[in-house]
Chains A and B, each alone.
Chain A
């Protein structure tokens, strides 16, 4: 049975848990709502083919059908793939979305405007924390970690086959090799990159057990997850990051200049409403942020979000030092 959903209006969040920044995602499931697998991954705003392909989808679909054939004998390796308890069962239960959308798209009226977009679910979740002056947790700030975060690059034309391992990474230390095919991760059957992301998204221990197919043999590996591994997730490409910029940087888009000290160059200054808070505070394009509330350690824009959104709250003004040409300028960035 093929079902196409084009709206998040009234979406069952107790079942459809996926990367809400995606514009294409797929679920494979049994009629009893048991999920066999997920498909849909992204790490770049424009180059979707970096992470998914038609060939990869085809292999994942075939693997899902194999899981269906073996069901329910294989329930054990599917248990971890099932949805987790949620606070809100429908997007419209979030305060920022309540009362704004009908259960379906209004095909006779304002069609597109009546569509609740998937990315709004993530934004609403973050807003729920922010509006209560609560720190936004890492798993919510840095959703759906790609395997590259632990040093694995998986082939987009494959289900979950390793094509590259970053030297010195957790995957390298665990003993992964090129052409390994991930069969199980954290005890879950893996049939896609999205399945690996699901495991990483929900990882709570400091290590993960993997079973890979290497040639004719299956090999057991164990990945040690370093402290704060999730924080290295680059979320700059995500649609939902736009709202993080509103909250944390007043609409500034920042680019990281690598080095031993903090150096975040202002690449864009927002112009309207709350996205112009940085502009109103005096920030200019090409300013380089070198100190934030006394911090000078190097941070990416994504890491700065964490620092600000877990330690500073609406109404706070954060002292920031920028270099502008040859001079240093002291500014105060309002938190929203």
Chain B
């Protein structure tokens, strides 16, 4: 099972960009969200087929977060 700390990090990463860039324009928020989450390396960004293929390859379950950024 994934350690609780990792779970918390995953959840915070899912939420963080919206709070962190609240003062930025909507376009900038969306662009920064992609940059930040992709650079983290733990998330497959906006590509469900890729995530599904990876899950099938590794046998791991999927967590899919739908997050409205702007």
B50-66 vs A, Cβ < 8 Å mask (1 yes, 0 no)? 11101110111111111
Bound CA span A18–B66, Å: 10
Residue A54 at the chain B interface, CB threshold 8 Å = yes
Number of A interface residues in the complex (CB < 8 A): 42
Task: Report B1-59 residues with CB < 8 Å from chain A CB.
Answer: 1-2, 4, 7-8, 10-12, 14-15, 18, 25-27, 29-31, 33-34, 37, 42-48, 50-52, 54-56, 58-59
Interface residues on B, range: 35 or more
Contact between B27 and A31, CB atoms less than 8 A apart? no
Give Cα distance in the complex from A27 to B48, angstroms.
12
- What are the interface flags for A40-65 relative to B under an 8 Å C-beta threshold, 1 for contact and 0 otherwise? 10000000000000100110011011
B residues near A173, Cβ cutoff 8 Å: none
Answer whether A30 and B7 are a contact pair too, CB < 8 Å, given A1-B44, A4-B14, A117-B68.
no
Query: Roughly how many angstroms separate A40 CA and B70 CA in the complex, as a whole number?
Result: 18
The reply to whether A3 and B51 contact each other, CB–CB distance below 8 Å, is: yes
CA distance A107 to B69 in the complex (A): 13
Question: 29 A-B contacts, Cβ less than 8 Å apart?
Answer: A1-B44, A2-B10, A3-B43, A3-B65, A6-B46, A12-B48, A22-B68, A24-B65, A24-B67, A26-B66, A27-B66, A29-B64, A30-B55, A30-B61, A31-B59, A31-B60, A40-B66, A54-B8, A54-B12, A58-B4, A61-B2, A62-B4, A64-B61, A105-B30, A107-B34, A112-B25, A112-B30, A115-B70, A117-B68
